[in-house]
Structure 1
C-alpha cells in the first residue's frame, strides 16, 4: 500500500491536506482587506477552504477506503475553478495552488492518481477561462500548465516510492542483523558449551580410559569445526556480495557429504537415499555448508521424517532435502530466496536460503523449492562433472 512521508496512511494525507486548505483560506481572508479586491468572492473561497480543511481534519479516514482522500483533491479543483472564474479568468493567482495541490497528490498517492486527475484539472483550468472570454493564447496556456502540474505530482510520487523502498530495505536489513545476532548467540553458545564440558572432563579426570579420552577429544574438535564453519559462512556473505568467493572444485562423493552433514547437524534424524558411487563436482566445504543449512532448516520448520536423496541426469546432480511439515505458504514462496528472507527466524542458521542459492549458483548450479504434499522440498542442482 502507498504510504505517505511522515504520516500514517490516509489519515496523515488528510491532515496534510487540511493544512494546505487552511493556508489557502487564510490567504483568501487576507485578500479581502486589499484595495480593489472582490471581497464577497474571496469570502466564498475562504469559507469553502475552511470547510474542506475541517472535513479533512475530522473525517474518519481510517474507516474509509485508502483512496478516499482523493475526494479532497476533487474539492480543491472545484474551489480553484470558482476562484479562476470569480477573478475574471485571472489564472495567475490560482496557478500556485494548482501546483501545491498536485504536490500533495504526489506525496500521498501513486502516480496514476495524478494522471487520472489531469482531465479534471484541465477542465477546472480551461472552463473558467472560456467562460470569462479570455483570448485564445490564454486558454491555450493549459497545454503547458496541466502537463507541468501533472509532472510535478508524478516526479514527487516517484521520489516517495524510492524513499519508501529504501526505508523498507533498511528495515529488512535491521531485522536480518537482529536475527543474525540471535543466531550467533544460539549457534555459538551450544558448541562452546560442549567444548567446555569436554575440556573440564579431561582436566578433572586424569585417569580416563584412552578410548573415552579420544571420544571426548573428537567431540570437542567437531564442535570447534562447527564454529569455524559458522564463521566461514558469515564471511561468505560478504564474498558472495562482492564477487570474491573462491571455490576449490573437486569430485565429491555425494553420499559421504550428506552423511557428514547429517552428523554435523545437532539432533538430526534424516534418512539418506543416495547411491554410494554418485559424484558431484563441488567445493567440499561449501557443499557441506549448503547441506547443513538445508537439513537444519527442515528440522526447524518442517517435521519428521527428513529425507535426503540424490540422483544424476544429463550431467547434472540433484540433491533433495525434504521434510513432512506444513510446507511453505504460497504467498511466502516468492520471498524464500530473497536477501533478507528465508533465514530470518530466531535460532536459524542466520544466512538463510539466500546464501545457499548463491553458493549453488557459484557452482554453476541452482537451488529451487518444490511443494512436497505434505512438506517442503529444496533441491540443489550441481554439475556432475567438470
Structure 2
C-alpha cells in the first residue's frame, strides 16, 4: 500500500505543481489572450493529471504496474525539464514560464499514456501465458477425470452385479451414478474452454428450429411431460453449435430440478447423485410420468438488438447463493458456490456471444434467461 501511495502520489504531485505553476503566471499574462489561453491549458493539464492519479489509485492496476506508470511520468517530465532548462540558459533564448508549464504538462500526459499502454501490453502477455497454462491444466484434468471415472464406473457396475445384499448393491449403484455425473463434468469443462477461447459467432441460426431440435429428445424421454415453445417464427440469432449446447443445459436443468420439485427431498437426491431405493423410486416416477412430470417452457423475444431466450420450469428455483455468484453480486467461496457447472457453461457462452445471463425465481418456479445478438 505504501509503494502504491508513493507511486500515485508522485503523479498527483506533478499535476499539482503544474496547476500551481499555471496559476502563478496569470498576472504576467493579463491583457494577452493567447498567453491567458496557454496559462489555462497548463491548469487544465495539471488538473487532468491529478484526476488521473486518483483514478489510478482506485483502479485494479497492480501496484508494480502503478509504479511503472509513475516511472514513465517522471522520466518524461525530468528529461524535458532538463532540456527546457538548458534551452533557457542559451544566449538569446527566452521561453515564458507558462509555456514551460504547458510543455511539461503535455509531456507528462503523453508519458502517462505511454506507461498505461505499456502496462496493458505486459498484462496482455501475462493473461496469454495464464490462458496457455490453464488450457494445459484443463486438458490434463479432463483426461485424468475421464480415466478415473471410467475405472469407477466399471468397478461399480461389476460390484452391483455380484453383490446380493440390497444395501451394498445400492451403495455400488450410488458410486456408479456419481461417477457418471463426474464424467459429465468433462463435457462441461470442454464447453467452457471452447467458449473462453472462441470469437463471437458470425453465422445465423433459426431459433424456433433450434429449440425444436433441443426439445425433441426430452419429449421422447418424458412422453407425459409438457414442453411448450413460444418463439416467433423467423427469429434468427447469431450462433453456432454452442448455442444448442447452452439451450440443452438450460432444458436439462429445468427437467432435472423442475420435475422433482413436488417430491420432498428429491432435489437433494438428484444433486448429490443418490440412488438409494427411495430416491430411485422417485426418479422412476419421473421417468414414467406422475405428478413429477416435467414442465418446461421455452420462449423468446426481441429486446432491441438482443434476442432474449427464457427457459421456465415449475421447480423450487435456483438457490439464492448460486444466483448471487452467477450474477457476480457475490464472490464464490468455499462455503458458498454453485452445485454444478451447467449454468456456468450457459453464462460463459452467453458472454462469448456478447450477451448475458439472468435468473428469476418466483412461487411458480424459475426462469433462466439468456441474451444473444439477433441476426
Q: Same fold (TM over 0.5)?
A: no
Give the structure, 1 or 2, with the largest relative contact order (CA under 8 Å, sep 6 or more).
2
The alignment's TM-score, normalised by the length of structure 2, stands at: 0.41
The alignment's TM-score, normalised by the length of structure 1, stands at: 0.40
